[in-house]
Amino acid sequence: MNEETKKLAGLVAAIAKAMGATVTRPPDAERYWSAKVRTADGVDLWLSKNMENRLRAAVDLPAIKGQDGQDRQQSVRDVLSYDEQKSAPVTDITVSMDREPEAIARDITRRLVPGASAVYAKALERKRTSEEYARGTNETLAKLAKAFKCEPRHGTNLYPGSVTVNVSGPNSVSIDRVYCSPDTAVAIVKLLQADKGAA
């Protein structure tokens, strides 16, 4: 760790202490310009040094685990509606690194934390509902795969014979390329109408 990284690490540690926060990822050889802290209320913040020797503090929203098991980072734009974005709370500020850590901590607490906390809470709820939906979709996919005795391919597609079944949600399934006799077609349509409550 070079001197600049050590200096930033010391500053971040002092800011976190003054805020009553915890350093969850200090600067290191790989990410020598940034660090992550968690407030006493559990809100994650990035602290990073920019080229003008100023410290950028920004909310770090929780990632969502997708249906494929991969983490997808959320942005403020993902979380806030179009109307909310017009008067969006502050989620990103810059401060001079020449100030005392206690002064920087007060600035972050006063200017950033209120808005960051509000958006972080929305992001947590979005993460909960999205991951619940993904789990439900995967459960439906597994149930149908077992019933059809075939493995999922290309994500959420099943190919039991001459049809393509796509699972797009816990209770949403589409069937393409169905070739059958007229009588079978009538039976299928009646089942679908009953399922949709249209019969």
Q: What is the pLDDT of residue 68?
A: 86
Q: What is the pLDDT of residues 19-32, one digit of tens each?
A: 999 999 999 878 88
Question: What's the pLDDT score for residue 198?
Answer: 55
Query: How does DSSP classify residue 2?
Result: -
pLDDT of the residue at 1: 66
Q: What are the residue boundaries of the structural domains of the chain, listed by start?
A: 3-130, 150-196
Closest CA to 35 of 51, 52, 14: 14
Rounded to an integer, what distance in angstroms lies between the CA atom of residue 155 and that of residue 188? 26
Q: Report the CATH number of the 3-130 domain.
A: 3.30.1460
The per-residue pLDDT for 199 is 45
What are the pLDDT digits (tens) for 119-145?
999 999 999 999 999 999 999 999 999
Low-confidence ranges of the chain (pLDDT < 50): 199
Q: How much is the pLDDT for 28? A: 85
Which residues touch 179 (CB under 8 Å, ≥6 apart)? 162
Contact 165, 144 (CB under 8 A): yes
Cα angle, residue 95 at apex, residues 92 and 97 outer, rounded to 5°: 135
User: How far, in Å, CA of 162 to CA of 30, rounded?
Assistant: 51
